[in-house]
Chains A and B, each alone.
Chain A
Amino acid sequence: MRPFAFTLGLCTASLLAVAAHAETLTIATVNNGDMIRMQKLAGEFTKANPDIQLNWVTLEENVLRQRVTTDIANKGGQFDVLTIGTYEVPIWAKNDWLVPLDNLGADYDVDDLIPAIRNGLSSDGKLYAAPFYGESSFIMYRKDLAEKAGVTLPEAPTWDQVADAARKMTDRANGINGICLRGKAGWGENMAFLTATANAFGARWFDENWKPQFDQPEWKKTLQSYVDLMKEAGPEGASSNGFNENLALFQQGKCGMWIDATVAASFVTNPADSTVADKVGFALAPDTGLGKRGNWLWAWSLAIPAGSQKVESAEKFISWATSKAYGELVASKEGWANVPPGTRQSLYANADYQKAAPFAKMTIDSINAADPTKPTVKPVPYTGVQFVAIPEFQGLGTTVGQLFSAALAGQMSVDDALAQAQTAATSTMTEGGYIQ
């Protein structure tokens, strides 16, 4: 009995010792499929690192953004790892709110990160967040409806070709809308789509001196084309539709085309959820011949706030979650199609992944076509493709989004919406000290 009691005591003491030394990382994250999968697989990380425990805080995207901003700005020190996007990284890095990720380990292979994504997460040449999954936007279209309408959509179409195809595919008597686009107001909703589309039309938010540009003909052309097309070929009540609403419409076979995040490809081709899973084709976001396509760039990424006292452990975790090995772990447990996309070049060179994800090539081409450092045809003083990486953009983008959404709903004219957007932007930029 004695040896047994001794062994039991030793085991308990060891466990207590480990628990006493264990460091708990608090990770703030969003609720999406890839993040939930990471939480499920995190046991592999804690098994390999018994001295680190993980505490997850999952919040809705906007709540998370606000919560984390409050904490980091007030040095609350509540979080050790943050899930943030390409919008926050350059701004927060400039504010010294993030720890540069210099120690992700010798085998991390930082050069394997997709250059466009890496650039979006860097400031002054230093990486401040490691991408967990990345996305661009592209066209998802119904091959059967295109064929029925007698249109062929090239791999890299122009806006005119897209508009023409949308009008021809529209069959309202049978509930088919030629095109479904975001209309719900918000800087991350309709303004993500419209800002990226405006880049293709040669428009820009600000000139080199931060003067708002909504009074320029490029913006008029962008907004007028969008409103006209949606009136003729869009769904009813489009001004309330965001990503999820359009996803539902497309999956139910009610859209001929949908231009949105590349991450949607796996949803619309999943036969469990989509009634049109085997009829979907992909094409790059349209251009107007000016050298820029209307596709955006986004990456949900993991970063360490400057207030964290557990930087070393946080680096270990980030290195694990964004490594090539993590992709292989996901593939071995849940198949290659479920590996987080859009972060590493090696994934797109992998034959197994290409086989499992028929949209892989178009996704990487779309990501590569976006350049957050040179997003527009004319020069601009800001970075960001579908956003302007300044703190004022969240508020201003949503205000302008509300005006454009009202124009889509027919509550105001395109001219009025643009005039009011110009006034709002001028006021914000003057108050912010950008315009002297």
Chain B
Amino acid sequence: MARTVTNRQKAVTTVVVWIIALLIFFPILYTIITSFKSETEAIQGFNLIPSGTLESYAEVEAQRGYFRFFLNSVIISVGSTLLALVVAVPAAWSMAFSPTRRTKDVLMWMLSTKMMPAVAVLVPLYLIFARLGLLDNRVAITVMLTLINLPIVVWMLYTYFREIPGEILEASRMDGASLWNEIVYVLTPMAVPGIASTMLLNIILAWNEAFWTIQLTTTNAAPLTVFISSFSSPQGLFWAKLSAASTLAIAPILIMGWFSQRQLVRGLTFGAVK
């Protein structure tokens, strides 16, 4: 029997959801507000009305130059996502449609690599990068982020693929489709929402990755995480400038998330309802 939801319950739920959403978003909102304050205003306690000055943005741009870091962020996050998909789609296909007794173990093992603190492998990885001359190299950091996010990408795609009836793929095989055609022309179109949300999530993860990008890049390959980090100071006023740098760094990803929220939500809830 369907449960009836009263208007009052709906209103209460809506208000609660809005409050939670605002609480989650508030730190970002306050960062954006602070970026439009002067340094003196920024340290004068809680204040939601900024003077509207753009001096912090001007100073941030004059001191470091935003575009170079932005370009690196785009190259690294999009590049690592595409590379991860190239590896993960066949891997997830194999695990979803031709599972073996050990498939679950392999998946768990892949996920377990995410449980290790990154700093534990800093020295060996740094040595490898240094010896191979890969420090501050865009391609190297792109491959690094691909490998870091690969377990999540494989897991997500595996979950989506499992929701696709195997019979459809079987039918395509009976119609004479090769493995390549099966993956490209049958599986992929059906899994587009899942692949799109995996892509978006991976871009966000790669965009926000700070530990390895700060450790392994200096100038040529430095993305926006390095840009933000350079505005913190132990002595002196920097909150407004740091907020301006953070706003500039998160703006592209916020805008991308805003326009693709339908795909993101659809992808993330894909398979949630049986």
Contact = CB atoms under 8 A, between A and B. Distances in A.
B229 A60 contact: yes
Q: How large is the interface on B (under 10, 10 to 19, 20 to 34, 35 or more residues)?
A: 20 to 34
Contact of A60 (B43, B44, B233, B237): B233
Given A76-B126, A78-B218, A261 B230 contact: no
Contacts of A33: 236
Interface residues of A, number: 39
A393 interface: no
A67 interface: yes
B225 to A, nearest CB: 10
Interface string B107-127: 000000000000000110011
B218 A57 contact: yes
- Most-contacted residue by chain A among B44, B218, B229, B231 (CB, 10 A): B218
Interface string A249-272: 001100000000101100100001
B230 A78 contact: no
A31 B245 CA distance: 13
A59 B127 contact: no
B237 A59 contact: no
B219 A59 contact: no
A353 interface: no
Nearest to B222: A57
**Of residues B44, B123, B234, B235, which shows the largest number of chain A Cβ atoms within 10 Å of its Cβ?**
B235
A79 interface: yes
Given A63-B214, A76-B135, A188 B44 contact: no
A70 B218 contact: no
A59 B229 contact: yes
A273 B39 contact: yes
Given A57-B219, A78-B135, A273-B39, A31 B231 contact: yes
A70 B123 contact: yes
B63 interface: yes
B64 A58 contact: yes
B40 A273 contact: yes
Interface stretch (A42-50, A240-248, A372-380): A240-248
A224 B130 CA distance: 49
Given A76-B135, A78-B218, A244-B237, A60 B232 contact: yes
Contacts of A247: 236-237
Interface in B118-157: 122-123, 126-127, 129-130, 135-136
Contacts of B129: 76
B43, B136, B222: most-surrounded residue (chain A CB, <10 A): B43
B7 to A, nearest CB: 45
B238 A70 contact: no
B253 interface: no
B215 interface: yes
B204 interface: no
Interface of A: 26, 28, 30-33, 36, 39, 55-61, 63, 67, 70-71, 74-79, 188, 242-244, 247-248, 251-252, 261, 263-264, 267, 272-273
Nearest first, the 10 closest Cβ-Cβ pairs linking A and B are A58-B230, A60-B232, A248-B43, A76-B130, A31-B233, A57-B218, A61-B234, A55-B219, A74-B126, A74-B127
21 contacts: A30-B233, A31-B231, A55-B219, A57-B226, A57-B230, A59-B229, A67-B214, A67-B215, A70-B215, A77-B130, A78-B135, A188-B234, A242-B234, A244-B233, A244-B234, A244-B237, A247-B236, A263-B235, A264-B235, A273-B40, A273-B237
